[in-house]
Amino acid sequence: MESKLQSVLNDLGQPVGLPLPRWKPPAAPRRTVMDHRLARLEPLDLNRHAADLFTAYAADQTGATWTYLPYGPFATEAAFSEWAKQTCLGDDPLFFTIIDPHTNRAVGVASYLRITPAAGSIEVGHVHFSEALKRHPAATAAMFLMMDHAFSLGYRRYEWKCDALNAASQRAAKRLGFTFEGVFRHSNVYRSRNRDTAWFSIIDTEWATLRQAYLAWLAPENFDSDGRQKRSLGELRGAGK
């Protein structure tokens, strides 16, 4: 859906973007713990998390969860740990491990990446949920924690990108409240194949309302005794409009 661009006229009568007199580039996110009753995010630590993550991902015996990632699956824990050592310990991407607070075990990862404080933009990526995390409220809680932290730091734009053929990722982005912005054709090559990339975003002016929908969805009273949701996130997002 196209949105009308907001603008003002400069001294030459040309439309230009709205002024941001109070704008200050935010700080880069740091390695910090983000906590919720349903999920905890910890900076990825090989010594603490690698074995749990390898075990959790091994439950996917077909390898289907790796299809749209440029790496994996890994045959051994040593191979997984070596990849993580080379990929997951830097500042961008900045990886976090998703912990199930009930078992205290690592069940997935996600990262901040393409962190651009000068533009106020940040992306979430390398999202990889194990079978134990899929379709579980903890997955939504983890995504909420990362969004909330980014916007609290002062970022203006929070991005989600995925292979345009990854229907599950696109469904997830829309459910989480991201706006589809289009497809960048032939944007990448991975696994010796073309990738067209679907772009999604949430911006700061949307976050206050969206945040209230998340808080209502994550509230204990929104789940029955069997852990089933009473109202969907989409329903609650619509109620806030």
Tens digits of residue pLDDT in 130-173: 999 998 999 999 999 999 999 999 999 999 999 999 999 999 99
- pLDDT band, residue 14 (cuts 50/70/90): very high
Give mean pLDDT, residues 4-28.
93
CB 197 within 8 A of CB 114: no
User: In the chain, at which residue ranges do the beta strands (DSSP E only) sit?
Assistant: 7-9, 15-17, 34-35, 40-43, 94-100, 105-116, 121-129, 157-163, 179-190, 193-203
Residue 241 has pLDDT above 60, yes or no: no
- pLDDT band, residue 188 (cuts 50/70/90): very high
Separation of CA 78 from chain center: 27
